[in-house]
Amino acid sequence: MISQTFPFAVRLIGFTSEEEACFDENFSIRQTWGYGYFRLEDDNLQDPDLYVAKASQLKALVTLADVRPSEVRPAMLVGTPDVPLPYPAVDDPIRWDQLFETLDELVERRADALSRLEASDIVTVPERRRRDRIDLDLTDPAEYEKMRAKVPENGIVLVVDKAPALRDYLSDLLARQKVPVAWVSDEVEAVEVCKREPVAFVMINTSTPGLDPYRLCWAIKEKDSLVRIAVVFLVSKPFVYDVQQARYVGADGFLNKPLASHHLVTVLKKFLPFA
Protein backbone atom coordinates (compact mmCIF):
# COMPACT_ATOMS: atom_id res chain seq x y z
CA MET A 1 0.00 0.00 0.00
CA ILE A 2 1.40 3.38 -0.99
CA SER A 3 2.20 5.76 1.85
CA GLN A 4 1.20 8.95 0.01
CA THR A 5 -1.75 10.53 1.82
CA PHE A 6 -2.26 13.77 -0.09
CA PRO A 7 -4.66 13.77 -3.08
CA PHE A 8 -3.38 12.49 -6.43
CA ALA A 9 -3.45 14.95 -9.34
CA VAL A 10 -5.53 13.79 -12.32
CA ARG A 11 -5.28 15.33 -15.79
CA LEU A 12 -8.59 14.97 -17.66
CA ILE A 13 -8.40 14.83 -21.47
CA GLY A 14 -11.33 15.30 -23.84
CA PHE A 15 -14.15 15.96 -21.37
CA THR A 16 -16.69 18.78 -21.47
CA SER A 17 -16.85 21.42 -18.73
CA GLU A 18 -20.01 19.75 -17.40
CA GLU A 19 -18.23 16.40 -17.21
CA GLU A 20 -15.26 18.03 -15.49
CA ALA A 21 -17.61 19.51 -12.90
CA CYS A 22 -19.00 16.02 -12.27
CA PHE A 23 -15.46 14.73 -11.70
CA ASP A 24 -14.84 17.59 -9.27
CA GLU A 25 -17.98 16.74 -7.30
CA ASN A 26 -17.17 13.04 -7.04
CA PHE A 27 -13.51 13.67 -6.25
CA SER A 28 -14.63 15.97 -3.43
CA ILE A 29 -16.91 13.28 -1.99
CA ARG A 30 -14.14 10.69 -2.29
CA GLN A 31 -11.73 12.78 -0.15
CA THR A 32 -13.37 11.42 2.99
CA TRP A 33 -12.13 7.85 2.48
CA GLY A 34 -9.59 5.84 0.52
CA TYR A 35 -7.22 7.54 -1.88
CA GLY A 36 -8.00 11.15 -2.66
CA TYR A 37 -7.97 12.70 -6.14
CA PHE A 38 -8.30 16.18 -7.59
CA ARG A 39 -8.56 17.50 -11.15
CA LEU A 40 -5.72 19.61 -12.49
CA GLU A 41 -7.06 22.70 -14.23
CA ASP A 42 -5.89 23.22 -17.81
CA ASP A 43 -3.37 25.96 -16.93
CA ASN A 44 -2.04 24.27 -13.82
CA LEU A 45 1.58 23.41 -14.66
CA GLN A 46 1.91 20.71 -12.02
CA ASP A 47 2.66 17.32 -13.54
CA PRO A 48 -0.21 14.85 -13.09
CA ASP A 49 -0.05 11.59 -11.21
CA LEU A 50 -2.59 10.00 -13.57
CA TYR A 51 -4.39 10.69 -16.86
CA VAL A 52 -8.07 10.02 -17.60
CA ALA A 53 -9.13 10.33 -21.26
CA LYS A 54 -12.51 10.11 -23.00
CA ALA A 55 -12.24 7.20 -25.43
CA SER A 56 -14.89 8.50 -27.85
CA GLN A 57 -12.85 11.66 -28.57
CA LEU A 58 -10.18 10.97 -31.19
CA LYS A 59 -8.33 14.19 -30.34
CA ALA A 60 -8.21 13.11 -26.69
CA LEU A 61 -6.59 9.81 -27.68
CA VAL A 62 -4.02 11.62 -29.84
CA THR A 63 -3.23 13.96 -26.94
CA LEU A 64 -2.94 11.00 -24.58
CA ALA A 65 -0.45 9.31 -26.92
CA ASP A 66 1.50 12.58 -27.12
CA VAL A 67 2.06 12.81 -23.34
CA ARG A 68 3.24 9.19 -23.27
CA PRO A 69 1.67 7.62 -20.17
CA SER A 70 3.87 5.23 -18.23
CA GLU A 71 3.86 3.12 -15.10
CA VAL A 72 4.82 6.24 -13.17
CA ARG A 73 2.12 8.38 -14.80
CA PRO A 74 -0.50 5.81 -15.82
CA ALA A 75 -3.64 6.41 -17.88
CA MET A 76 -7.17 5.07 -18.04
CA LEU A 77 -10.02 5.48 -20.52
CA VAL A 78 -13.67 6.29 -20.03
CA GLY A 79 -15.55 4.34 -22.68
CA THR A 80 -14.33 1.92 -25.32
CA PRO A 81 -12.01 3.18 -28.08
CA ASP A 82 -12.44 2.16 -31.72
CA VAL A 83 -8.96 0.62 -31.72
CA PRO A 84 -7.30 -1.47 -28.98
CA LEU A 85 -5.19 0.62 -26.60
CA PRO A 86 -3.00 -0.55 -23.70
CA TYR A 87 -4.93 1.29 -20.98
CA PRO A 88 -7.62 0.06 -18.59
CA ALA A 89 -11.10 1.33 -19.42
CA VAL A 90 -14.33 1.93 -17.49
CA ASP A 91 -17.90 2.32 -18.68
CA ASP A 92 -19.32 5.47 -20.23
CA PRO A 93 -21.67 6.72 -18.71
CA ILE A 94 -19.37 6.54 -15.71
CA ARG A 95 -20.00 4.19 -12.83
CA TRP A 96 -18.09 6.01 -10.14
CA ASP A 97 -17.41 2.97 -7.98
CA GLN A 98 -15.83 1.30 -11.01
CA LEU A 99 -13.81 4.40 -11.88
CA PHE A 100 -12.40 4.79 -8.36
CA GLU A 101 -11.58 1.09 -8.16
CA THR A 102 -9.57 1.40 -11.39
CA LEU A 103 -7.85 4.61 -10.26
CA ASP A 104 -6.88 2.94 -6.97
CA GLU A 105 -5.37 0.00 -8.86
CA LEU A 106 -3.33 2.40 -11.02
CA VAL A 107 -2.14 4.24 -7.90
CA GLU A 108 -0.91 0.94 -6.42
CA ARG A 109 0.92 0.04 -9.65
CA ARG A 110 2.40 3.54 -9.73
CA ALA A 111 3.73 3.07 -6.19
CA ASP A 112 5.44 -0.16 -7.20
CA ALA A 113 6.97 1.52 -10.27
CA LEU A 114 8.25 4.46 -8.22
CA SER A 115 9.79 2.09 -5.68
CA ARG A 116 11.66 0.28 -8.46
CA LEU A 117 12.87 3.57 -9.95
CA GLU A 118 14.07 4.87 -6.59
CA ALA A 119 15.95 1.63 -6.00
CA SER A 120 17.70 1.95 -9.38
CA ASP A 121 18.32 5.75 -9.14
CA ILE A 122 16.49 6.36 -12.43
CA VAL A 123 14.97 9.82 -12.87
CA THR A 124 11.39 9.91 -14.12
CA VAL A 125 10.51 11.87 -17.25
CA PRO A 126 8.04 14.72 -16.66
CA GLU A 127 4.97 15.48 -18.71
CA ARG A 128 6.36 16.80 -22.01
CA ARG A 129 3.61 19.16 -22.96
CA ARG A 130 0.64 20.64 -21.12
CA ARG A 131 -1.26 21.59 -24.29
CA ASP A 132 -1.61 19.63 -27.51
CA ARG A 133 -0.66 21.29 -30.77
CA ILE A 134 -2.90 19.42 -33.16
CA ASP A 135 -4.77 22.40 -34.58
CA LEU A 136 -1.86 24.82 -34.87
CA ASP A 137 -2.54 27.20 -37.76
CA LEU A 138 0.77 28.10 -39.39
CA THR A 139 -1.03 30.64 -41.58
CA ASP A 140 -1.81 32.75 -38.51
CA PRO A 141 0.87 35.48 -38.33
CA ALA A 142 0.57 35.70 -34.55
CA GLU A 143 1.24 31.96 -34.17
CA TYR A 144 4.14 32.19 -36.61
CA GLU A 145 5.74 35.06 -34.69
CA LYS A 146 5.26 33.17 -31.46
CA MET A 147 7.09 30.18 -32.91
CA ARG A 148 9.95 32.39 -34.11
CA ALA A 149 10.50 33.87 -30.67
CA LYS A 150 13.45 32.31 -28.87
CA VAL A 151 14.32 31.84 -25.21
CA PRO A 152 17.39 33.99 -24.37
CA GLU A 153 20.54 31.90 -24.08
CA ASN A 154 21.55 31.58 -20.43
CA GLY A 155 18.56 33.74 -19.56
CA ILE A 156 17.82 34.54 -15.95
CA VAL A 157 14.83 33.76 -13.76
CA LEU A 158 13.02 36.80 -12.39
CA VAL A 159 10.95 36.44 -9.23
CA VAL A 160 8.41 39.17 -8.42
CA ASP A 161 7.72 38.95 -4.71
CA LYS A 162 8.08 40.71 -1.34
CA ALA A 163 7.83 37.72 1.01
CA PRO A 164 11.23 36.83 2.55
CA ALA A 165 10.19 33.23 3.29
CA LEU A 166 9.38 32.49 -0.35
CA ARG A 167 12.54 34.29 -1.46
CA ASP A 168 14.72 32.17 0.82
CA TYR A 169 13.06 28.96 -0.38
CA LEU A 170 13.41 29.85 -4.07
CA SER A 171 16.97 31.14 -3.64
CA ASP A 172 18.10 27.80 -2.27
CA LEU A 173 16.21 25.79 -4.87
CA LEU A 174 17.38 27.84 -7.87
CA ALA A 175 20.96 27.88 -6.62
CA ARG A 176 20.95 24.08 -6.57
CA GLN A 177 19.70 24.12 -10.17
CA LYS A 178 22.50 26.55 -11.09
CA VAL A 179 19.95 28.94 -12.58
CA PRO A 180 20.76 32.69 -12.34
CA VAL A 181 18.00 34.61 -10.58
CA ALA A 182 16.98 38.23 -9.97
CA TRP A 183 14.47 39.58 -7.43
CA VAL A 184 12.11 42.55 -7.63
CA SER A 185 9.20 43.62 -5.46
CA ASP A 186 6.99 45.69 -7.79
CA GLU A 187 5.67 45.91 -11.34
CA VAL A 188 7.74 48.86 -12.54
CA GLU A 189 11.01 47.29 -11.47
CA ALA A 190 10.01 43.95 -13.04
CA VAL A 191 9.36 45.54 -16.45
CA GLU A 192 12.66 47.46 -16.26
CA VAL A 193 14.63 44.31 -15.51
CA CYS A 194 12.98 42.50 -18.44
CA LYS A 195 14.06 45.33 -20.74
CA ARG A 196 17.58 45.49 -19.33
CA GLU A 197 18.46 41.82 -18.70
CA PRO A 198 18.08 38.57 -20.72
CA VAL A 199 15.09 37.35 -18.70
CA ALA A 200 13.77 33.95 -19.80
CA PHE A 201 11.34 33.01 -17.03
CA VAL A 202 9.24 35.15 -14.66
CA MET A 203 7.49 33.93 -11.54
CA ILE A 204 4.86 36.31 -10.15
CA ASN A 205 3.68 35.82 -6.59
CA THR A 206 0.04 36.84 -6.89
CA SER A 207 -0.07 37.60 -3.14
CA THR A 208 2.39 40.49 -3.53
CA PRO A 209 0.69 43.66 -2.16
CA GLY A 210 -0.09 46.37 -4.72
CA LEU A 211 0.58 44.11 -7.69
CA ASP A 212 -1.77 43.20 -10.56
CA PRO A 213 -0.33 39.98 -12.02
CA TYR A 214 -2.36 40.22 -15.23
CA ARG A 215 -1.26 43.80 -15.92
CA LEU A 216 2.36 42.88 -15.21
CA CYS A 217 2.21 39.83 -17.47
CA TRP A 218 0.78 41.97 -20.29
CA ALA A 219 3.63 44.46 -19.87
CA ILE A 220 6.28 41.73 -19.90
CA LYS A 221 4.88 39.92 -22.93
CA GLU A 222 5.79 42.52 -25.54
CA LYS A 223 4.00 42.02 -28.84
CA ASP A 224 6.09 41.01 -31.88
CA SER A 225 9.13 40.45 -29.67
CA LEU A 226 11.68 37.92 -30.90
CA VAL A 227 12.47 37.06 -27.28
CA ARG A 228 10.21 34.54 -25.58
CA ILE A 229 9.70 35.09 -21.85
CA ALA A 230 7.66 32.53 -19.94
CA VAL A 231 5.42 33.96 -17.19
CA VAL A 232 4.05 31.72 -14.44
CA PHE A 233 1.79 32.78 -11.57
CA LEU A 234 2.42 31.45 -8.05
CA VAL A 235 -1.10 31.19 -6.66
CA SER A 236 -2.63 30.74 -3.23
CA LYS A 237 -6.02 31.56 -1.75
CA PRO A 238 -7.89 33.88 -1.89
CA PHE A 239 -6.53 34.65 -5.39
CA VAL A 240 -8.61 33.02 -8.12
CA TYR A 241 -6.77 32.29 -11.36
CA ASP A 242 -8.90 33.64 -14.23
CA VAL A 243 -8.09 31.36 -17.17
CA GLN A 244 -9.52 33.63 -19.87
CA GLN A 245 -7.80 36.77 -18.58
CA ALA A 246 -4.53 34.93 -18.01
CA ARG A 247 -4.49 33.58 -21.55
CA TYR A 248 -5.41 36.98 -22.97
CA VAL A 249 -2.35 38.58 -21.36
CA GLY A 250 -0.15 35.65 -22.40
CA ALA A 251 0.44 33.87 -19.08
CA ASP A 252 1.93 30.40 -19.48
CA GLY A 253 0.12 28.88 -16.50
CA PHE A 254 0.25 28.70 -12.72
CA LEU A 255 1.50 26.68 -9.79
CA ASN A 256 -0.25 26.44 -6.45
CA LYS A 257 1.49 27.46 -3.25
CA PRO A 258 2.98 26.03 -1.15
CA LEU A 259 5.36 24.99 -3.93
CA ALA A 260 6.68 21.46 -4.11
CA SER A 261 10.30 21.65 -5.25
CA HIS A 262 10.00 18.84 -7.81
CA HIS A 263 7.01 20.55 -9.48
CA LEU A 264 8.92 23.81 -9.80
CA VAL A 265 12.01 22.07 -11.17
CA THR A 266 9.85 20.28 -13.74
CA VAL A 267 8.32 23.57 -14.88
CA LEU A 268 11.76 25.21 -15.13
CA LYS A 269 12.93 22.40 -17.38
CA LYS A 270 9.85 22.79 -19.57
CA PHE A 271 10.51 26.43 -20.28
CA LEU A 272 14.28 26.68 -19.91
CA PRO A 273 16.20 24.33 -22.22
CA PHE A 274 19.42 25.08 -20.37
CA ALA A 275 18.06 24.36 -16.86
DSSP class of residue 153? Answer: T
| Amino acid 72: pLDDT | 92
> What digits encode the pLDDT tens for the residues 142-164?
554 454 456 666 789 999 998 88
b/e per residue, 74-92, with b = 16+ CB within 10 A? bbbbbbebeeebebebbee
Planar angle of CA 179, 237, 75, nearest 5 degrees: 70
Considering only residues 38 and 142, tell me which one the structure prediction assigns the higher pLDDT. 38
Pairing status of strand 75-78 against strand 253-256? unpaired
- 203 three-class SS: strand
| Amino acid 4: pLDDT | 47
> What digits encode the pLDDT tens for the residues 225-249?
667 899 999 999 889 999 999 999 9
> What digits encode the pLDDT tens for the residues 53-66?
999 999 999 999 99
Delineate the domains of the chain, giving CATH numbers in brackets.
8-120 (3.40.50.2300), 141-271 (3.40.50.2300)
| Banded model confidence at residue 136, pLDDT cuts 50, 70, 90 | very low
For residues 253-272, give the mean pLDDT.
Answer: 89
Burial class (CB in 10 A: 0-12, 13-18, 19+), 112: exposed
| Amino acid 254: pLDDT | 96
Report yes or no: 228 and 250 within 8 Å, Cβ to Cβ: no
For residues 41-54, give the mean pLDDT.
Answer: 95
| Amino acid 275: pLDDT | 59
Kindly report which listed range (45-49, 57-61, 102-106, 131-135) carries the lowest average pLDDT score.
131-135
- 125 three-class SS: coil
Q: What percent of the chain has pLDDT over 70?
A: 83
For residues 116-141, give the mean pLDDT.
Answer: 53
For residue 3, pLDDT over 50 is answered with no
Q: Which residues contact 102 (CB under 8 A, 6 or more apart)?
A: 76, 88, 90
